[in-house]
Protein backbone atom coordinates (compact mmCIF):
# COMPACT_ATOMS: atom_id res chain seq x y z
CA UNK A 1 0.00 0.00 0.00
CA UNK A 2 1.61 3.29 -1.04
CA UNK A 3 2.06 6.11 1.43
CA UNK A 4 -0.74 8.70 1.43
CA UNK A 5 0.39 11.16 -1.25
CA UNK A 6 -1.63 14.03 0.14
CA UNK A 7 0.01 13.90 3.56
CA UNK A 8 3.57 13.19 2.46
CA UNK A 9 3.47 16.12 0.06
CA UNK A 10 1.55 18.16 2.60
CA UNK A 11 4.21 17.61 5.23
CA UNK A 12 6.98 18.80 2.91
CA UNK A 13 4.96 21.78 1.71
CA UNK A 14 4.03 22.74 5.29
CA UNK A 15 7.75 22.67 6.10
CA UNK A 16 8.58 24.92 3.19
CA UNK A 17 5.88 27.39 4.13
CA UNK A 18 6.71 27.45 7.82
CA UNK A 19 10.40 26.55 7.98
CA UNK A 20 11.71 27.58 4.52
CA UNK A 21 12.84 24.07 3.59
CA UNK A 22 11.12 20.78 2.78
CA UNK A 23 13.50 19.04 5.21
CA UNK A 24 14.52 21.73 7.70
CA UNK A 25 18.00 21.36 9.13
CA UNK A 26 19.84 23.79 11.42
CA UNK A 27 21.65 26.47 9.46
CA UNK A 28 24.92 25.81 11.24
CA UNK A 29 24.83 22.27 9.83
CA UNK A 30 24.03 23.53 6.33
CA UNK A 31 27.17 25.70 6.27
CA UNK A 32 29.55 23.36 8.10
CA UNK A 33 31.02 22.07 4.85
CA UNK A 34 32.64 25.48 4.22
CA UNK A 35 34.63 25.51 7.45
CA UNK A 36 38.24 26.59 6.99
CA UNK A 37 37.92 27.05 3.22
CA UNK A 38 38.29 30.85 3.46
CA UNK A 39 35.39 31.54 1.13
CA UNK A 40 34.44 35.20 1.46
CA UNK A 41 30.97 35.95 2.67
CA UNK A 42 28.70 37.31 -0.04
CA UNK A 43 29.72 39.00 -3.25
CA UNK A 44 28.38 39.53 -6.72
CA UNK A 45 29.21 35.94 -7.66
CA UNK A 46 28.33 33.29 -5.12
CA UNK A 47 28.43 29.53 -4.94
CA UNK A 48 24.78 28.67 -4.40
CA UNK A 49 24.24 25.16 -3.03
CA UNK A 50 20.43 25.33 -2.73
CA UNK A 51 21.01 22.93 0.21
CA UNK A 52 20.65 19.83 -1.98
CA UNK A 53 23.87 18.11 -0.87
CA UNK A 54 23.28 19.13 2.74
CA UNK A 55 19.73 17.77 2.74
CA UNK A 56 20.60 14.53 1.02
CA UNK A 57 21.60 12.53 4.15
CA UNK A 58 18.36 13.60 5.83
CA UNK A 59 16.31 12.69 2.77
CA UNK A 60 18.02 9.30 2.56
CA UNK A 61 17.21 8.67 6.20
CA UNK A 62 13.59 9.67 5.63
CA UNK A 63 13.35 7.43 2.57
CA UNK A 64 14.70 4.46 4.52
CA UNK A 65 12.15 5.13 7.26
CA UNK A 66 9.27 5.69 4.86
CA UNK A 67 10.21 2.70 2.75
CA UNK A 68 9.59 0.58 5.80
CA UNK A 69 6.20 2.20 6.31
CA UNK A 70 5.06 1.77 2.73
CA UNK A 71 3.39 -1.58 3.21
CA UNK A 72 2.69 -1.45 6.92
CA UNK A 73 -0.09 -0.13 9.14
CA UNK A 74 2.26 2.72 10.11
CA UNK A 75 1.49 4.34 6.78
CA UNK A 76 -1.90 5.29 8.21
CA UNK A 77 -0.22 7.55 10.74
CA UNK A 78 1.46 9.83 8.22
CA UNK A 79 -1.52 12.18 8.41
CA UNK A 80 -1.14 12.39 12.18
CA UNK A 81 2.56 13.06 11.74
CA UNK A 82 1.71 15.91 9.42
CA UNK A 83 -0.66 17.38 12.00
CA UNK A 84 1.98 17.39 14.72
CA UNK A 85 4.61 18.62 12.29
CA UNK A 86 2.74 21.91 12.10
CA UNK A 87 3.70 22.49 15.73
CA UNK A 88 7.07 20.76 16.03
CA UNK A 89 9.50 19.70 13.34
CA UNK A 90 8.60 16.00 13.11
CA UNK A 91 10.88 15.49 10.10
CA UNK A 92 13.84 16.04 12.41
CA UNK A 93 12.86 12.81 14.22
CA UNK A 94 12.10 10.63 11.23
CA UNK A 95 15.14 11.70 9.27
CA UNK A 96 18.17 11.30 11.52
CA UNK A 97 21.05 10.97 9.06
CA UNK A 98 23.99 8.59 9.11
CA UNK A 99 27.16 10.36 10.16
CA UNK A 100 29.05 8.88 7.20
CA UNK A 101 26.49 10.28 4.76
CA UNK A 102 26.73 13.74 6.31
CA UNK A 103 30.51 13.66 6.15
CA UNK A 104 30.48 12.46 2.56
CA UNK A 105 28.11 15.17 1.34
CA UNK A 106 30.13 17.86 3.08
CA UNK A 107 33.26 16.56 1.38
CA UNK A 108 31.57 16.68 -2.02
CA UNK A 109 30.76 20.36 -1.53
CA UNK A 110 34.36 20.97 -0.44
CA UNK A 111 35.47 19.20 -3.63
CA UNK A 112 33.36 21.53 -5.76
CA UNK A 113 34.55 24.67 -3.99
CA UNK A 114 38.13 23.43 -4.16
CA UNK A 115 37.89 22.77 -7.91
CA UNK A 116 36.62 26.29 -8.50
CA UNK A 117 39.45 27.71 -6.39
CA UNK A 118 41.93 25.63 -8.39
CA UNK A 119 40.48 27.20 -11.53
CA UNK A 120 41.02 30.66 -10.01
CA UNK A 121 37.30 31.39 -10.08
CA UNK A 122 36.39 34.15 -7.63
CA UNK A 123 33.24 33.52 -5.69
CA UNK A 124 31.66 34.05 -2.30
CA UNK A 125 29.14 32.13 -0.26
CA UNK A 126 26.11 33.36 1.62
CA UNK A 127 26.60 30.99 4.55
CA UNK A 128 23.58 31.04 6.89
CA UNK A 129 21.66 33.47 4.69
CA UNK A 130 21.41 30.89 1.90
CA UNK A 131 18.00 29.27 1.37
CA UNK A 132 16.74 26.08 -0.23
CA UNK A 133 15.60 26.67 -3.82
CA UNK A 134 12.14 25.07 -3.45
CA UNK A 135 12.69 22.48 -6.19
CA UNK A 136 10.63 19.71 -4.62
CA UNK A 137 7.62 21.96 -4.00
CA UNK A 138 7.72 23.03 -7.64
CA UNK A 139 7.87 19.44 -8.87
CA UNK A 140 4.82 18.37 -6.87
CA UNK A 141 2.81 21.33 -8.12
CA UNK A 142 2.49 23.24 -4.84
CA UNK A 143 2.59 26.45 -6.84
CA UNK A 144 1.27 28.96 -4.30
CA UNK A 145 3.80 27.96 -1.68
CA UNK A 146 6.57 27.67 -4.27
CA UNK A 147 5.93 31.14 -5.71
CA UNK A 148 6.07 32.72 -2.25
CA UNK A 149 9.27 30.87 -1.45
CA UNK A 150 10.89 31.77 -4.78
CA UNK A 151 10.14 35.41 -4.08
CA UNK A 152 11.74 35.07 -0.66
CA UNK A 153 14.87 33.49 -2.15
CA UNK A 154 15.17 36.08 -4.91
CA UNK A 155 14.77 38.98 -2.51
CA UNK A 156 17.43 37.49 -0.26
CA UNK A 157 19.86 37.20 -3.18
CA UNK A 158 19.18 40.76 -4.32
CA UNK A 159 19.53 42.10 -0.77
CA UNK A 160 23.02 40.57 -0.74
CA UNK A 161 23.95 42.17 -4.05
CA UNK A 162 24.24 38.88 -5.91
CA UNK A 163 24.33 38.98 -9.71
CA UNK A 164 25.70 35.56 -10.64
CA UNK A 165 25.06 32.14 -9.14
CA UNK A 166 27.35 29.16 -9.52
CA UNK A 167 25.18 26.15 -8.79
CA UNK A 168 26.30 22.68 -7.76
CA UNK A 169 23.48 20.34 -8.71
CA UNK A 170 21.08 19.98 -11.65
CA UNK A 171 17.83 20.64 -9.78
CA UNK A 172 19.03 23.92 -8.30
CA UNK A 173 20.49 24.91 -11.68
CA UNK A 174 17.14 24.28 -13.32
CA UNK A 175 15.25 26.17 -10.63
CA UNK A 176 17.43 29.25 -10.64
CA UNK A 177 18.04 29.39 -14.40
CA UNK A 178 14.82 28.18 -16.00
CA UNK A 179 11.99 28.16 -13.45
CA UNK A 180 12.54 31.29 -11.37
CA UNK A 181 12.42 33.57 -14.45
CA UNK A 182 8.90 32.27 -15.12
CA UNK A 183 7.63 33.24 -11.69
CA UNK A 184 9.67 36.34 -10.81
CA UNK A 185 9.08 39.44 -12.94
CA UNK A 186 12.33 41.10 -13.90
CA UNK A 187 14.47 38.17 -12.77
CA UNK A 188 18.00 39.11 -13.73
CA UNK A 189 20.44 36.66 -12.18
CA UNK A 190 22.98 34.83 -14.29
CA UNK A 191 23.19 31.15 -13.41
CA UNK A 192 25.89 28.66 -14.34
CA UNK A 193 26.54 25.15 -13.21
CA UNK A 194 30.01 24.68 -11.68
CA UNK A 195 30.67 22.10 -14.43
CA UNK A 196 30.05 24.75 -17.07
CA UNK A 197 32.31 27.19 -15.25
CA UNK A 198 35.13 24.68 -14.93
CA UNK A 199 34.88 23.47 -18.53
CA UNK A 200 35.16 27.06 -19.75
CA UNK A 201 38.13 27.76 -17.50
CA UNK A 202 41.80 26.98 -18.05
CA UNK A 203 41.91 24.39 -15.29
CA UNK A 204 44.38 21.66 -16.12
CA UNK A 205 44.92 18.34 -14.36
CA UNK A 206 47.80 18.00 -11.95
CA UNK A 207 47.80 14.23 -12.52
CA UNK A 208 46.35 12.24 -15.38
CA UNK A 209 44.06 9.47 -14.25
CA UNK A 210 44.23 6.51 -16.57
CA UNK A 211 40.95 4.91 -15.69
CA UNK A 212 37.72 4.10 -17.46
CA UNK A 213 34.58 5.71 -16.14
CA UNK A 214 30.90 5.32 -16.95
CA UNK A 215 28.98 8.58 -17.10
CA UNK A 216 25.44 8.72 -15.76
CA UNK A 217 23.75 11.86 -17.09
CA UNK A 218 21.21 13.51 -14.86
CA UNK A 219 17.83 13.86 -16.65
CA UNK A 220 17.63 17.46 -15.51
CA UNK A 221 21.11 18.40 -16.72
CA UNK A 222 20.70 16.52 -20.02
CA UNK A 223 17.09 17.23 -21.00
CA UNK A 224 16.23 20.40 -19.12
CA UNK A 225 19.51 22.34 -19.07
CA UNK A 226 21.63 20.94 -21.92
CA UNK A 227 24.65 20.25 -19.68
CA UNK A 228 26.05 17.22 -21.46
CA UNK A 229 29.43 17.98 -23.02
CA UNK A 230 30.98 19.90 -20.13
CA UNK A 231 31.33 17.00 -17.68
CA UNK A 232 32.77 14.83 -20.46
CA UNK A 233 35.26 17.51 -21.45
CA UNK A 234 36.50 17.77 -17.87
CA UNK A 235 36.81 13.99 -17.49
CA UNK A 236 38.65 13.62 -20.81
CA UNK A 237 41.09 16.41 -19.97
CA UNK A 238 41.83 14.50 -16.77
CA UNK A 239 42.65 11.34 -18.70
CA UNK A 240 39.54 9.30 -18.00
CA UNK A 241 38.33 6.96 -20.71
CA UNK A 242 34.59 7.53 -20.92
CA UNK A 243 32.29 4.55 -21.26
CA UNK A 244 28.77 5.46 -22.34
CA UNK A 245 25.91 3.32 -21.00
CA UNK A 246 23.07 2.19 -23.25
CA UNK A 247 20.94 5.29 -22.60
CA UNK A 248 23.23 8.28 -22.57
CA UNK A 249 23.33 12.03 -23.16
CA UNK A 250 19.91 13.39 -24.17
CA UNK A 251 18.42 9.91 -23.87
CA UNK A 252 19.74 9.16 -20.41
CA UNK A 253 17.66 6.84 -18.21
CA UNK A 254 16.25 8.24 -15.00
CA UNK A 255 17.61 7.04 -11.68
CA UNK A 256 14.17 6.99 -10.02
CA UNK A 257 15.14 9.60 -7.47
CA UNK A 258 12.33 12.13 -8.13
CA UNK A 259 9.74 9.78 -6.62
CA UNK A 260 11.90 8.35 -3.84
CA UNK A 261 10.01 10.21 -1.10
CA UNK A 262 6.53 9.19 -2.22
CA UNK A 263 7.06 5.81 -3.86
CA UNK A 264 10.31 4.22 -2.63
CA UNK A 265 9.57 0.88 -4.31
CA UNK A 266 8.93 2.47 -7.69
CA UNK A 267 12.12 4.50 -7.34
CA UNK A 268 14.03 1.36 -6.51
CA UNK A 269 12.75 -0.50 -9.59
CA UNK A 270 13.62 2.35 -11.93
CA UNK A 271 17.02 2.77 -10.29
CA UNK A 272 17.76 -0.93 -10.53
CA UNK A 273 17.08 -0.91 -14.29
CA UNK A 274 19.49 1.94 -14.67
CA UNK A 275 22.21 0.28 -12.58
CA UNK A 276 22.08 -2.73 -14.91
CA UNK A 277 22.74 -0.45 -17.88
CA UNK A 278 25.60 1.21 -16.02
CA UNK A 279 27.15 -2.14 -15.11
CA UNK A 280 27.07 -3.25 -18.73
CA UNK A 281 29.16 -0.23 -19.75
CA UNK A 282 31.99 -1.78 -17.67
CA UNK A 283 33.67 1.37 -16.48
CA UNK A 284 35.84 1.12 -13.36
CA UNK A 285 33.37 3.43 -11.66
CA UNK A 286 30.26 5.49 -12.35
CA UNK A 287 30.24 9.27 -12.25
CA UNK A 288 26.94 10.83 -11.24
CA UNK A 289 26.38 14.59 -11.48
CA UNK A 290 23.50 14.85 -9.09
CA UNK A 291 23.42 13.97 -5.38
CA UNK A 292 19.98 12.42 -5.77
CA UNK A 293 21.13 10.23 -8.68
CA UNK A 294 24.17 9.17 -6.69
CA UNK A 295 22.18 8.19 -3.61
CA UNK A 296 19.29 6.56 -5.47
CA UNK A 297 21.52 4.46 -7.71
CA UNK A 298 23.64 3.36 -4.77
CA UNK A 299 20.57 2.26 -2.85
CA UNK A 300 19.13 0.50 -5.91
CA UNK A 301 22.27 -1.39 -6.96
CA UNK A 302 22.22 -5.07 -6.08
CA UNK A 303 25.80 -5.63 -7.18
CA UNK A 304 27.91 -3.14 -5.27
CA UNK A 305 28.23 -0.81 -8.25
CA UNK A 306 30.87 1.87 -7.55
CA UNK A 307 29.07 5.17 -7.89
CA UNK A 308 30.47 8.51 -6.87
CA UNK A 309 29.86 12.17 -7.50
CA UNK A 310 31.76 13.49 -10.52
CA UNK A 311 33.54 16.00 -8.28
CA UNK A 312 35.31 13.11 -6.51
CA UNK A 313 36.69 11.90 -9.81
CA UNK A 314 37.69 15.40 -10.86
CA UNK A 315 39.64 16.25 -7.72
CA UNK A 316 41.78 13.15 -8.21
CA UNK A 317 43.11 14.79 -11.34
CA UNK A 318 42.73 18.52 -10.82
CA UNK A 319 43.31 18.72 -7.09
CA UNK A 320 41.35 21.04 -4.87
CA UNK A 321 39.61 18.48 -2.68
CA UNK A 322 40.57 19.85 0.75
CA UNK A 323 39.74 17.33 3.46
CA UNK A 324 37.38 18.38 6.25
CA UNK A 325 38.98 19.77 9.40
CA UNK A 326 39.54 17.13 12.10
CA UNK A 327 37.39 19.10 14.51
CA UNK A 328 34.35 18.20 12.37
CA UNK A 329 34.35 14.57 13.50
CA UNK A 330 31.89 14.46 16.38
CA UNK A 331 30.65 17.87 17.41
CA UNK A 332 27.23 18.74 16.07
CA UNK A 333 26.38 15.28 14.78
CA UNK A 334 25.83 13.60 18.13
CA UNK A 335 22.29 12.68 17.09
CA UNK A 336 23.43 11.18 13.78
CA UNK A 337 23.27 7.46 13.35
CA UNK A 338 26.74 5.89 12.90
CA UNK B 1 -19.83 5.85 -16.84
CA UNK B 2 -17.42 8.76 -17.35
CA UNK B 3 -18.76 12.27 -16.69
CA UNK B 4 -17.40 15.48 -18.11
CA UNK B 5 -16.71 18.24 -15.59
CA UNK B 6 -17.19 21.50 -17.51
CA UNK B 7 -15.15 23.65 -15.15
CA UNK B 8 -12.25 21.19 -15.18
CA UNK B 9 -12.47 21.02 -18.97
CA UNK B 10 -12.37 24.80 -19.19
CA UNK B 11 -9.29 25.00 -16.97
CA UNK B 12 -7.51 22.43 -19.12
CA UNK B 13 -8.43 23.82 -22.51
CA UNK B 14 -7.85 27.50 -21.68
CA UNK B 15 -4.57 26.93 -19.88
CA UNK B 16 -1.38 28.35 -21.39
CA UNK B 17 0.50 25.53 -19.72
CA UNK B 18 -1.41 22.42 -20.81
CA UNK B 19 -0.66 21.77 -24.48
CA UNK B 20 -1.70 18.16 -25.03
CA UNK B 21 -4.14 19.00 -27.84
CA UNK B 22 -1.24 18.39 -30.24
CA UNK B 23 -1.00 14.76 -29.08
CA UNK B 24 -1.54 12.34 -31.97
CA UNK B 25 -1.81 9.28 -29.74
CA UNK B 26 1.15 7.64 -31.44
CA UNK B 27 2.20 5.97 -28.19
CA UNK B 28 5.95 6.65 -28.42
CA UNK B 29 5.82 8.37 -25.02
CA UNK B 30 4.27 5.38 -23.28
CA UNK B 31 6.71 3.05 -25.03
CA UNK B 32 9.82 4.85 -23.76
CA UNK B 33 8.58 5.69 -20.25
CA UNK B 34 10.85 4.06 -17.63
CA UNK B 35 7.81 3.40 -15.42
CA UNK B 36 6.03 1.25 -18.04
CA UNK B 37 2.64 2.40 -16.74
CA UNK B 38 -0.01 2.23 -19.46
CA UNK B 39 -1.76 5.38 -18.27
CA UNK B 40 1.28 7.61 -18.65
CA UNK B 41 1.15 9.93 -20.34
CA UNK B 42 -1.12 9.88 -23.38
CA UNK B 43 -4.10 8.13 -21.80
CA UNK B 44 -3.99 10.50 -18.86
CA UNK B 45 -3.87 13.51 -21.16
CA UNK B 46 -6.80 12.17 -23.16
CA UNK B 47 -8.87 12.02 -19.97
CA UNK B 48 -7.89 15.60 -19.18
CA UNK B 49 -8.68 16.90 -22.66
CA UNK B 50 -12.11 15.28 -22.49
CA UNK B 51 -12.79 16.92 -19.13
CA UNK B 52 -13.06 13.58 -17.32
CA UNK B 53 -11.97 14.92 -13.98
CA UNK B 54 -13.03 11.77 -12.09
CA UNK B 55 -10.82 9.58 -14.25
CA UNK B 56 -7.91 11.95 -13.71
CA UNK B 57 -8.45 12.11 -9.94
CA UNK B 58 -8.74 8.35 -9.48
CA UNK B 59 -5.25 8.11 -10.94
CA UNK B 60 -3.69 10.64 -8.58
CA UNK B 61 -0.96 8.28 -7.33
CA UNK B 62 0.11 7.59 -10.92
CA UNK B 63 0.25 11.30 -11.66
CA UNK B 64 2.68 11.69 -8.78
CA UNK B 65 4.69 8.66 -9.85
CA UNK B 66 5.75 10.41 -13.03
CA UNK B 67 9.49 11.02 -12.77
CA UNK B 68 9.32 14.24 -14.81
CA UNK B 69 12.39 12.84 -16.53
CA UNK B 70 11.25 14.02 -20.00
CA UNK B 71 12.26 10.78 -21.70
CA UNK B 72 8.80 10.90 -23.32
CA UNK B 73 9.18 14.52 -24.31
CA UNK B 74 12.55 13.86 -25.94
CA UNK B 75 10.82 11.27 -28.13
CA UNK B 76 7.46 13.03 -28.71
CA UNK B 77 6.67 13.55 -32.38
CA UNK B 78 4.23 16.39 -31.68
CA UNK B 79 6.26 18.60 -29.33
CA UNK B 80 3.90 18.08 -26.44
CA UNK B 81 5.33 19.54 -23.23
CA UNK B 82 4.63 16.39 -21.31
CA UNK B 83 6.45 17.25 -18.08
CA UNK B 84 4.76 20.66 -17.88
CA UNK B 85 1.40 19.01 -18.53
CA UNK B 86 1.91 16.54 -15.69
CA UNK B 87 2.96 19.41 -13.43
CA UNK B 88 -0.19 21.29 -14.44
CA UNK B 89 -2.32 18.36 -13.28
CA UNK B 90 -0.33 18.14 -10.06
CA UNK B 91 -0.85 21.84 -9.45
CA UNK B 92 -4.58 21.37 -10.01
CA UNK B 93 -4.71 18.48 -7.55
CA UNK B 94 -2.54 20.30 -5.00
CA UNK B 95 -4.81 23.32 -5.05
CA UNK B 96 -8.31 21.86 -5.60
CA UNK B 97 -8.02 18.48 -3.87
CA UNK B 98 -5.14 18.59 -1.39
CA UNK B 99 -5.80 22.24 -0.57
CA UNK B 100 -2.07 22.97 -0.18
ipTM of the complex: 0.94
Preceding peptide of B41 cis, ω within 30°: yes
How do residues B69-87 score in pLDDT, each as one tens digit?
999 999 999 999 999 999 9
Q: What does the buried/exposed string (b/e) look like for A1-36 if buried means 16 or more CB atoms within 10 Å of the residue's CB?
A: ebbbbbbbbbbbbbbbbebbbbbbbebebbbbbbee
- The answer, for A1 touching chain B at a CB cutoff of 8 Å, is no
Q: Which of A192, A214, A205, A207 is nearest to A234 (CA)?
A: A205
Q: How far is it, in rounded angstroms, from Cα B96 to Cα A274?
A: 35
Position B100 scores a pLDDT of: 85
A329 pLDDT above the threshold of 60: no
Which of A11, A18, A141, A219 is the best mutation test for B, with the most CBs of B within 10 A?
A141
* DSSP character string of A282-310: T-SSEEESSHHHHHHHHHH-SS---EEEH
Average pLDDT over residues A255-271: 92
All structural domains of chain B with their residue ranges: 6-96
Position A273 scores a pLDDT of: 97
CA-based radius of gyration for chain B: 13
The shortest C-alpha distance from B90 to chain A (Å) reads 5
Three-class secondary structure of residue A212 per DSSP:
strand
Architecture of domain A205-318 in this structure: 3-Layer(aba) Sandwich (3.40)
Position A333 scores a pLDDT of: 46
Q: For A30, list phi and psi in degrees, rounded to 5.
A: -70, -25
Segment among A66-70, A120-124, B86-90 with least mean pLDDT: A66-70
Provide the 10 A C-beta neighbour count for residue A185.
5
Average pLDDT over residues B31-58: 92
Q: For A125, list phi and psi in degrees, rounded to 5.
A: -150, 145
A19 pLDDT above the threshold of 50: yes
Answer yes or no: pTM beyond 0.90.
yes
All structural domains of chain A with their residue ranges: 205-318
- The answer, for A9 touching chain B at a CB cutoff of 8 Å, is yes
| pLDDT classification of A305: cutoffs 50, 70, 90 | very high
- The answer, for A168 touching chain B at a CB cutoff of 8 Å, is no
Q: How far is it, in rounded angstroms, from Cα A275 to Cα A272?
A: 5
Position A62 scores a pLDDT of: 83
The shortest C-alpha distance from A188 to chain B (Å) reads 23
User: Closest to A254 (Cβ–Cβ): which among B71, B89, B92?
Assistant: B71
Amino acid sequence: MPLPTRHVIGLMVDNLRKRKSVFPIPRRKAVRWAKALDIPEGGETVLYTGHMYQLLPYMMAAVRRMGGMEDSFLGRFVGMGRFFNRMINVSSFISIPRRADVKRCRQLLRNIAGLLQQADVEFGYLYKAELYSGALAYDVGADDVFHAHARRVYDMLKDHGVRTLITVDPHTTNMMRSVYPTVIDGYDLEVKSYLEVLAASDIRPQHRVDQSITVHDSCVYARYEGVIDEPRELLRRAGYEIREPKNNRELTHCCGGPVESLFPKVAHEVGLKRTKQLEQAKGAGVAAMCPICMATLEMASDNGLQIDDISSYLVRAYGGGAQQPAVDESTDDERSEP
Amino acid sequence: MAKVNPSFLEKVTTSDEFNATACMNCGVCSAVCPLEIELLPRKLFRYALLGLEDRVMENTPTIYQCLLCKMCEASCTADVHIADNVRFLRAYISKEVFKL
